[in-house]
């Protein structure tokens, strides 16, 4: 390696200074000559842009060697020890911090991973670079929630190793101990992920393969399976395993991305050995598959299966544990917004019965010690429409937990050239509106300075340069909009379309207005809910 410094671990955290654009250094932390952490970091040479941290609690009172591959030894002198997180006093109330969308305490996040429910806790893992503002160093961050709104970070669950960094994957509860990994009374939680070989010096020459890790203490600690990888390299950059339990055939099913628009299904009795079932082509899509059943209009006698791709395209069909048979063409409901790599939770209790999804919400947050966000969780349903069976998506009902004040207006006539401004000024908002399509050329809402416009002749909803086809339902256009500090999420006609947009809103007005263009429009109802923060008040 290169320059190094040695210290005795006396505090919980090691604070590391980061300067965006500084030379990218390879850093290793060694205890007794063994590398316990290794990652790339833009180590600050001058004034840091922000600080990141390493939890060194496991090595209290032991000697820790910190080394980098090159650079000025003086940069290592800035490293600090502390029992608190860097910037802890400002944590969760930074200027661009999403207040009811999940974002990581520090560093970059992208795809949601490992979604599962166990003992009333929703587990959210995610692609995480704990040591920088940009993509890289793929670990699995980990957070839990009991209500899909308030999240508690548990720290990193998976770290890179000799097989590679930890790319996307899924999580299951092995309730029947099919893998034989259970130890104690807790059911085994298993994460299935891609070992992305060749992304680190330790994994040089390794291909992309699929691995598993497991927890016997409700997800608090994780061990990687000694027999990894459980599925070797198949093709290209094969990655993003989504695993489900198929009860009728009593086996695990893995949907795996291969290359191009090609995906494959595999089966296993024990999560360790996998056999191929079929290949599936999802035109126009790549990466991050999902596979799940839904009842059409809630009818348990009419269950279809959905095969999903990262960009929001999907196929509806049937699945018998062996073959997925598409019925109809590729569809989509997420039309070119900023969400990506959506995944649904497994093991949702039967009494709940919902199919709940979350996605990466792509938005750059300059000047922050963190970057990117997640969409607000949504409930998926399959409904019969004049065009066929389609997916619908609506924010989960738990959004109501954040309601603080509600304003409502009924039967307003909107006149061209005039704008109706309700008397409110809110930062965090949920807006619901129903418009009766009349003789106006266009109508819509402006929420926090962002115009959401419906063009009548084209039957198109527009926002921030994006256009979404949306036909009226019984002569109405219904909108639901969530506005946070770094995003606006738009749902049309009870979830027929979804358009999540990442955009910083900190400097925009907190108003809501309705408008009509070239004619009159009847605004049948408008509800504006002012929302509170999802973060604890003592951390704001």
Pair of tokens at residue 156: 């990193």
Give the separation between CA 441 and CA 49, rounded to whole angstroms: 48
Give the separation between CA 438 and CA 442, rounded to whole angstroms: 9
Nearest to 501 by CA among 342, 332, 334, 379: 334
Can 111 be counted among the known catalytic residues? Answer: yes
Asked if 272 contacts 280 with a C-beta cutoff of 8 angstroms, the reply is no
The length of the chain in residues reads 540
DSSP annotation of 399 reads G
Active-site residue, selected from the candidate residues 111, 286, 338, 484: 111
Q: Which residues pair with 158 in a beta bridge?
A: 140
In whole angstroms, what separates CA 268 from the centre of its chain?
Answer: 27
Give the separation between CA 211 and CA 18, rounded to whole angstroms: 31
Helix ranges, 61-121 (H): none
Asked if 378 contacts 498 with a C-beta cutoff of 8 angstroms, the reply is yes
Q: Are strands 370-371 and 107-118 parallel, antiparallel or unpaired?
A: parallel
Residue whose token pair is 């947009």: 501
| Helix, strand, coil % over all residues of the chain, rounded to 5 | 5, 50, 45
Give the separation between CA 510 and CA 513, rounded to whole angstroms: 10
Active site members: 111
């Amino acid at each position: 390696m290169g320059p190094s410094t040695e210290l005795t671990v006396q505090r919980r955290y090691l604070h590391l200074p980061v300067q965006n654009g500084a030379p990218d250094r390879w850093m290793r932390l060694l205890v007794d000559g063994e590398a316990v952490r290794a990652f790339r970091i833009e180590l600050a040479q001058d004034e840091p842009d922000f600080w990141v941290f390493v939890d060194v609690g496991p090595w209290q009172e032991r000697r820790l060697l910190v080394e980098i591959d090159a650079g000025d030894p003086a940069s290592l002198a800035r490293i600090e020890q502390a029992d608190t997180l860097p910037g802890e006093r400002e944590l969760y109330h930074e200027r661009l911090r999403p207040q009811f969308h999940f974002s990581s305490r520090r560093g970059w996040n992208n795809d949601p991973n490992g979604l599962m429910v166990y003992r009333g806790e929703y587990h959210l893992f995610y692609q995480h670079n704990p040591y920088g503002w940009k993509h890289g160093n793929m670990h699995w961050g980990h957070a839990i929630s009991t209500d899909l709104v308030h999240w508690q970070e548990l720290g990193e669950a998976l770290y890179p190793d000799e097989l590679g960094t930890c790319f996307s994957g899924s999580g299951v509860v092995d309730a029947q101990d099919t893998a034989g990994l259970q130890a104690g009374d807790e059911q085994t939680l298993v994460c299935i992920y891609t070992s992305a070989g060749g992304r680190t010096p330790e994994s040089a020459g390794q291909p992309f393969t699929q691995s598993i890790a497991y927890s016997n203490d409700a997800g608090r600690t994780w061990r990687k399976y000694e027999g990894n990888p459980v599925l070797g390299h198949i093709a290209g950059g094969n990655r993003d395993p989504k695993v489900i339990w198929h009860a009728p055939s009593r086996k695990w099913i893995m949907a795996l991305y291969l290359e191009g628009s090609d995906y494959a299904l595999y089966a296993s009795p024990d999560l360790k050995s996998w056999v191929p079932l079929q290949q599936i082509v999802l035109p126009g899509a790549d990466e991050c598959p999902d596979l799940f059943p839904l009842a059409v209009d809630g009818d348990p006698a009419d269950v279809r299966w959905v095969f999903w791709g990262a960009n929001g395209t999907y196929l509806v069909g049937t699945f018998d544990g062996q073959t997925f048979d598409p019925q109809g063409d590729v569809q989509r409901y997420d039309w070119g917004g900023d969400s990506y790599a959506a995944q649904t939770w497994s093991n949702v209790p039967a009494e709940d019965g919902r199919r709940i999804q979350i996605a990466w919400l792509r938005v750059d947050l300059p000047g922050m010690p963190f970057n990117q966000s997640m969409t607000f969780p949504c409930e998926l349903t399959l409904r019969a429409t004049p065009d066929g069976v389609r997916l619908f998506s609506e924010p989960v009902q738990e959004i109501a937990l954040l309601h603080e004040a509600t304003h409502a207006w009924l039967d307003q006539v909107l006149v061209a050239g005039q704008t109706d401004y309700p008397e409110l000024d809110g930062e965090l908002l949920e807006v619901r509106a129903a418009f009766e399509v009349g003789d106006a050329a266009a109508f819509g809402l402006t929420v926090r300075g962002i115009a959401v416009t419906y063009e009548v002749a084209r039957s198109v909803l527009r926002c921030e340069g994006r256009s979404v086809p949306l036909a009226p339902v019984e002569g109405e256009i219904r909108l639901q909009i969530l506005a946070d500090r770094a995003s606006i999420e738009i749902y049309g006609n009870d979830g027929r379309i979804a358009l999540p947009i990442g955009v910083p809103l900190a400097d925009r007005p907190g108003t809501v207005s309705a408008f009509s263009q070239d004619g009159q429009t009847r605004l049948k109802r408008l509800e504006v809910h002012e929302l509170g923060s999802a973060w604890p008040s003592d951390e704001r």
